[in-house]
Every structure is written in structure tokens, then in C-alpha cells.
Amino acid sequence: MRDVAERAGVAVVTVSRVVNGLGPVREETVDRVNAAISAIGYQRNEIARSLRPGQNSMTVGLLLGDLTNPFYASLAKAAVDVAKQDGYAVLLSTADEDPEVERRAVGELIGRRVAGLIVVPDQGDHAFLDEVNAHDRVPIVFVDRPATGAEADVVLVDNEGGGAAATQHLIDHGHRRIAIIVAPSYYTTGRRLRGYRKALRRSGVPADEDLVVTLRRGTTEDACAATHVLLTSARPPTAIFSTTGFLTEGVLRARQQLAAPVAVVGFDDFKLADMLPTPVTVVASDTEELGRHAARLLIDRISGEGGPTSRTVLPVRLIARGTGELRPPDQ
């Protein structure tokens, strides 16, 4: 900026005014400054800018899991799009379900003075985020799951309703022995399990705890193995509700390997679901809307929007494609 000022024969202040289009500057001076700017190829230093007191860094932090998971990818895409539209840049950081990594990542983001934080929290206490919120005045929005111990805006999908819808759909197609596969201690799958139980109860279908399979890890491989066990057991289920995209893939692999006619409904839609040998019925949530809403909420908070913390629950919808409409074999 000083170089520009020198070249244009004005003071630094004047250049600043021209760049921001704020103060009163004579037309001719503006032209001279602009000429100098493009001659030098000057670009305002946003870092120095945000150092000034009361200035917003115009950068938000986005902390989530493995981008290879399409869920996180489309979340990120949507958040980045909204942020960019409002002039915010996005600092991306990942914490693969590891609380300690997450903590450090938050530190890095705060150190870079992000104006706000979008977090997909993993299990574990998040009271330290409350401190961040209070001490550094950095608003936070949680996505997909609420964080225990921290008070902030949350954007969720209707896990319980979706779980109930999936289960009810299978009941409606004649199933009475419906298995559910859940990942361990995830908030989301826990709520989906709740919906499952509720639907069973409502329809008077007896619950069989042997049909509730909690995996040690939420991987495709574990789900595949668990499904193998289920389907080759003495009293196999006639339908399976898998509560996660990864798990659904595992269930389908096992189903295909065993050539089993078991019905399946999965939570979360995925690509090519309609092109598999039997197209896959899913409960789909609008992942991009999740990201968009979170970003908008955050930017509102950064802009000083007051009020109590909000809790948004986005609707889900069941997409019938085939695996969910299979009827149980006649006994």
C-alpha cells in the first residue's frame, strides 16, 4: 500500500480510502491511485486488515470428518458456497472422530482468528468449546449432532422420525422380524434406533433385542460381517434397517454375497442406489441444506444476531426404490 501511495504521489490513508471506496476523494486522485494499483498489482492484505480492532477476519472455520465420506463432502460444499457468497473464506480442518485431534484443530482455527466455527462434533465432552465461545467471542454452530456440554446453535436432521419411517415402511410391507444395525455411541444412530423402537411399539410388533446389532466400529466391513451373522443365524430377520451410509453398503454386500432376498432400508441416500441389481430404498436427508443452513446461521451470529440458541431439525423423506418393498417369504 505504501508503494502504491508513493507511486500515486499521495498518502497511505488516501489509498486506503480509494480501496474501500469510503472517504471523500477527488475523482482525479481516485484515478491516479487506481492506476498505481493496477500498475503494481497491489492486493489488499486481508491479514493486516483483520488485525485492526473490531475487524472481522471474514474467515470461518469448518471442522468435520473425512471428506471421502460424501456426507461431509456435500456439507462442506454447501457451507463453502454460502460463505463465499457472503465474502467469507473457509478454513477447512478435519478431525477424524478423535477428540484430541478435534481440540487441537479448534485451537489452530481460533489462533487464525476465524470469525466463526461450524463443527460436526464427535462424542465426548465439548465444554472447551463453550469457553471458546465465551472468551474469544467466536460463535459456533454444530451440525448433524449436538455437542454435550456446549451451548450453541444446532442443525440436525430428523433422525428419530426417519428411523420410525424406515421401520414403519418395512412393517407396512409385512415384516415382523426387522433387524437394525447401529454404529457405536453415535448420536445420530442412537436417535434412529429410538425411532425404530417407537415404530415397532406403535404397531405392536414384538421387539427382539437379538435383532438390534451394535457394531464395535461403524465401518462397511463390520456391517458386512454382522449382516452375514444375522442372515445365517437360526432365526434370521426378513428385513434390515441400516442406520448409516457406510453400514448400508456393508449390508448390501453381504446380501449380494449370500443372494439373500432380505429387505433393506438405509439411512442416507447414495449415488447409484437406483442402479444396483435391486434398487435400494433409503431415508434421505438434504445434506446440502444442512450445510447451507449452518453457514447462514453462523454468518447471522457473526453479524451480531442475538437471541437464544436455536435448534433446527430438517425433515427427511423415504425414497422407495425396491429393497424396501420386498415382502417377507411366506412361512
Partner DNA sequence: CACGGTGCTGGAAACGTATCCTGAGGGCGG
Partner DNA sequence: CCGCCCTCAGGATACGTTTCCAGCACCGTG
> Using CB under 7 A, which of 49, 112, 194, 296 touches DNA?
49
Please report how close the Cβ of residue 235 comes to its own copies at its closest, in angstroms.
27
177: left (phi over 0), alpha (psi -120 to 50) or beta: beta
Please report how close the Cβ of residue 50 comes to its own copies at its closest, in angstroms.
6
Contact between 20 and its own copies per CB under 8 A: no
Give the distance, in angstroms, between the CA of residue 248 and the centroid of all CA atoms in the same chain: 18
Q: What are phi and psi of 52, to 5 degrees?
A: -60, 145
**Residue 202, CB half-sphere, CA atoms under 13 Å: how many?**
13
Which candidate, 291, 300, 314, 311, places its Cα nearest to that of 139? 300
Contacts of 65 (CB under 8 A, 6+ apart): 72, 94, 95, 96, 97, 120, 122
Contact between 219 and DNA per CB under 7 A: no
Contact between 25 and DNA per CB under 7 A: yes
Contacts of 207 (CB under 8 A, 6+ apart): 197, 200, 201
Choice between 135 and 216, CB closer to its own copies: 135
The three-point CA angle 66-164-148 to 5° equals: 50
| 129-188 residues near its own copies, rule: CB under 8 A | 131, 135-136
| 105-124 residues near its own copies, rule: CB under 8 A | 105, 107-113
> Using CB under 8 A, which of 1, 225, 276, 319 touches its own copies?
276
> Using CB under 8 A, which of 14, 59, 188, 238 touches its own copies?
59
x/- mask, its own copies, residues 75-104, rule CB under 8 A, reads: -xx--xx--x----xxxxxx----------
Cβ neighbour number for residue 237 with a 10 Å cutoff = 24
Q: Which does residue 109 touch among DNA, its own copies, none (CB within 5 to 8 A, set by kind)?
A: its own copies
> Using CB under 8 A, which of 2, 26, 235, 271 touches its own copies?
271
